[in-house]
Amino acid sequence: MTTTTAHPFNTAISLADNGNGHYTGQTTPAYANMVGPFGGVTAAAIVQAICQHPDRIGEPVALTVNYLAPVSDGSFDIAVRAARTNRTNQHWIAEVSQDHGVTTTATAVFGTRRDAWSDTQATMPSAPDPETLTGTTTPEVVPWMRNYDMHYVDGGVPTDSKESASSTTTLWVRQRPARAMDFAALTALTDVFFPRVFLRRGRMLPAGTISLTTYFHVDGAELAQHGTDYVLATAHAQRFARGYFDQSAQIWGRGGTLLATSHQIVYYKD
């Protein structure tokens, strides 16, 4: 007899198909954040729902997820519909809801890629190999972080109340236990950074993502080549402005492939 234990990430994004574009998921303790689940896993579940939809054509190109209210522990409904299907791309609208109302809205663009002149303009940050860096101990109050092996290169979680002039954090990160990269995993990784304001202020304070936008730069075949290796994830802020700051991030494959760029606007109280 063979017993297969599902990877905790697969459990967290596992969806039952209820027909007509409705999918039911369940929050899992493994992906809990301080309030509600990790935003990255909610975004990943939305991508997963669209991927499972029978009308879906192509692969993720762009995704915007808006966090309206915390998802409560328990089941949630993801309703997805194709707003328009073009020749090479498809636009989706998604809403996550629970008994208490809508918690999350999203729009997504799926598309097919073709041969065309291509180039990477951004430069991968230089970093020593992850194996040479110390892993990070996860704070008890943030359960979802235990699902990631994190090796900070720059701008780690502030522990000594020291303010930083830079808002940049760069880390090697991969899923724990190891799991092959796919679009759901990559989506979750775009939200793996602690809030930039913690770094600048040298301490934790109330903060939460309001809206997250990710652009995907590879297709599924290119993404599969990544395997279970670490990605180099880097993020910085452009402006902290009276209660809201922005963050821009890059997710790089170890070999120098820019897998995704991602942006978010974050509420903070200081």
Q: Tell me which residues touch a copy of itself (CB under 8 A).
A: 61-62, 64, 66, 68-69, 83-84, 86, 88-89, 91, 93, 95, 101-102, 105-107, 109, 111, 113-122, 167, 197, 200-201, 210-211, 213, 215, 217-219, 236-244, 246, 248, 250, 258, 261, 263, 265, 267-270
- Burial label for 46, CB within 10 Å (0-12, 13-18, 19+), is buried
User: Cβ closer to a copy of itself: 149 or 215?
Assistant: 215
Shortest Cβ 231–a copy of itself spacing (Å)? 15
User: Cβ closer to a copy of itself: 6 or 221?
Assistant: 221
> Cα–Cα distance between 235 and 250 in angstroms, integer?
7
Shortest Cβ 10–a copy of itself spacing (Å)? 27
Shortest Cβ 146–a copy of itself spacing (Å)? 29
Distance, C-alpha 248 to centroid of its chain: 13
Shortest Cβ 135–a copy of itself spacing (Å)? 28
Take residue 94 and report the two structure tokens written for it. Answer: 């998604």
Please count the CA atoms within 13 angstroms of the CA of 88 that sit on its side-chain side: 5
User: Cβ closer to a copy of itself: 6 or 165?
Assistant: 165
User: Cβ closer to a copy of itself: 54 or 84?
Assistant: 84
Shortest Cβ 103–a copy of itself spacing (Å)? 8
Shortest Cβ 178–a copy of itself spacing (Å)? 26
User: Cβ closer to a copy of itself: 185 or 199?
Assistant: 199
Q: At a CB cut-off of 8 Å and minimum separation 6, what does 52 contact?
A: 15, 17, 23
CA angle 262, 263, 266 (to 5 degrees): 140
> Cα–Cα distance between 59 and 57 in angstroms, integer?
7
User: Cβ closer to a copy of itself: 28 or 97?
Assistant: 97
Which of the 8 DSSP states describes residue 37?
B
Residue corresponding to tokens 């915007």: 64
For 3, 43, 58, 73, 113, the CA distances from 222, given in Å and listed in that order, are 31, 21, 14, 35, 11
